[in-house]
């Protein structure tokens, strides 16, 4: 294994930078510093932490073009989407700046005691293992509530966005956070395993693949450490016969093609009742053709390359195997290196990779349902449980289906998306635990019962 990481611009293959993995001794020092900082950081007031959030927000706003460029260069996201990602981080920071004090306040409980309450105390050093597809957003939704609750954080980011990882570390320090409050490490998988086992690390938050989640959960479980796992998904997008396609088709296409389809919460399985099936295919195809393809750094570009060539190759495998099992290409299905043409697969059925697996690229798998009941049965036929979206005009009838879908989210007439105000997470192979909202900031605290007589 190489002792270096080389980052590349996916659109051209141009080398951006080279980074050396840290030694075991350097990582040990990071952990010791994190623990030392925690002893002081946990004693500070919540107000002092939210003031730092305000500084962080201002710096992000001032430098958003710089950070958006970095995101786009490292993982190929269109520049306009990178700008939106930074702006969403600002929204997240401002949300916790306004609400953290209330979320973390002692919760009084009336008992026979003179005084009894729940105290929300930080745990210590928390390890965050984060993915490349939203290099700033994924880190911030882990780090902001975690640090604001009084913990310290160690970040192990995806190798291909190492520049973003180091920029985020610098950002926290520039905002005035103690130097070892938030640290980025450049580590191998073996080193990460040792970090999880280290007594200094109290819990782990991972956003990534199901395979990575199972590995981290197994290691952390051996050492009785809490984990929050946000893993893959193959979200169903149900199109009922009364769906208003004129109003919603742009949203439906965006639900699959945003970030070149490289999103855990993207619509991946389009389950369409037969009465509207042909109309849906026609409208979806026409809307797809409007998407502007180009170089990621061009502000007009709406869809570009995938983040790496091997990722595009994996999508190709899933599509090819599905075609071999009877699926048909309705549009697209051309690949050149890391670019994968927006694709519509039809006649997709359970048992095919395009239905059963998470296809992490710009491929819409379309399945025909006999009726509404069949559509919801197909939607629930999944090992994943991140989110479901339904497009219909009959809101009241669809409300009755909420309890029948065992996902972490249920959206009607909107694409599944994360919002700082709402809890985010999944069920089944999509993981467990919640990020964002009050739920997210209470994941890495000790909910301590205090009883005074």
Relative to beta strand 431-432, strand 226-230 is antiparallel
CB 245 within 8 Å of CB 279: yes
Radius of gyration of the chain (CA): 23
Annotated catalytic residue: which of 74, 85, 230, 443?
Answer: 230
Q: Is the dihedral of CA 336, 339, 341, 347 positive or negative?
A: positive
CB 225 within 8 Å of CB 205: no
Residues in the chain: 453
Contacts of 176 by beta carbon, 8 Å cutoff, 6+ apart: 52, 55
How far apart, in whole angstroms, are the C-alpha atoms of residue 435 and residue 225?
17
Number of neighbouring beta carbons within 10 Å of residue 128:
23
How far apart, in whole angstroms, are the C-alpha atoms of residue 122 and residue 435?
16
Residue where the block lists tokens 């997008």: 237
- Of the candidates 45, 90, 42, the one whose C-alpha atom is nearest the C-alpha of residue 68 is 90
* DSSP 8-state secondary structure symbol assigned to residue 304: -
230 as an active site residue: the answer is: yes
Q: Is the dihedral of CA 76, 78, 79, 84 positive or negative?
A: negative
* DSSP 8-state secondary structure symbol assigned to residue 350: T
* DSSP 8-state secondary structure symbol assigned to residue 416: -
Six token digits for residue 435: 């990020």
Give the active site residues.
230
């Amino acid at each position: 294994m190489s002792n270096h990481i080389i980052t590349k611009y996916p659109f051209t293959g141009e080398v951006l930078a080279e980074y050396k993995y840290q030694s075991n001794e350097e990582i040990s020092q990071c952990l010791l510093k994190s623990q030392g900082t925690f002893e002081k950081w946990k004693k500070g007031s919540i107000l002092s932490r939210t003031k730092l959030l305000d500084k962080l927000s201002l710096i992000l706003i001032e430098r958003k073009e710089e950070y958006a460029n970095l995101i786009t260069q490292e993982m190929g996201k269109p520049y306009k989407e990178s700008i939106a990602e930074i702006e969403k981080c600002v929204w997240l920071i401002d949300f916790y700046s306004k609400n953290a004090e209330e979320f973390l306040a002692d919760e009084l409980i009336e008992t026979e005691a003179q005084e009894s309450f729940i105290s929300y105390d930080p745990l210590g050093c928390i390890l965050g293992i984060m993915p490349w597809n939203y290099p700033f957003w994924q880190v911030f939704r882990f780090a902001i509530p975690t640090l604001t609750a009084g913990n310290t954080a160690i970040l192990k980011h995806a190798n291909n966005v190492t520049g973003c990882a180091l920029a985020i570390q610098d950002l926290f320090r520039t905002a005035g956070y103690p130097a070892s409050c938030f640290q980025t490490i450049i580590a191998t998988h073996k080193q990460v395993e040792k970090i999880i086992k280290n007594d200094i690390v109290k819990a782990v938050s991972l956003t990534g693949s199901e395979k990575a989640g199972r590995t981290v959960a197994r290691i952390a479980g051996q050492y009785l450490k809490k984990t929050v796992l946000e893993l893959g998904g193959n979200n169903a997008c149900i199109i009922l016969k009364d769906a208003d396609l004129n109003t919603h088709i742009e949203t439906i296409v965006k639900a699959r093609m945003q970030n070149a389809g490289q999103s855990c919460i993207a619509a991946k399985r389009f389950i369409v009742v037969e009465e509207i099936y042909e109309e849906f295919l026609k409208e979806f195809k026409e809307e797809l053709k409007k998407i502007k393809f180009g170089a990621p750094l061009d502000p007009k570009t709406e869809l570009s390359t995938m983040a790496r060539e091997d990722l595009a190759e994996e999508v190709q495998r899933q599509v090819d195997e599905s075609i071999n099992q009877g699926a048909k290409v309705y549009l697209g299905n051309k690949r050149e290196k890391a670019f994968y043409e927006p694709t519509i697969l039809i006649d997709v059925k359970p048992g095919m990779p395009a239905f059963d697996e998470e296809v992490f690229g710009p491929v819409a798998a379309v399945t025909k349902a006999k009726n509404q009941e069949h559509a919801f049965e197909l939607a629930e036929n999944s090992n994943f449980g991140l989110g479901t979206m339904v497009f219909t005009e009959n809101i009241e009838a669809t409300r009755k289906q909420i309890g029948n879908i065992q996902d972490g989210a249920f959206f009607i007439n909107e694409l599944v998306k994360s919002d700082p105000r709402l809890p985010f997470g999944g069920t089944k192979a999509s993981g467990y635990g919640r990020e964002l909202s009050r739920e997210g900031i209470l994941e890495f605290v000790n909910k301590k019962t205090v009883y005074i007589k």
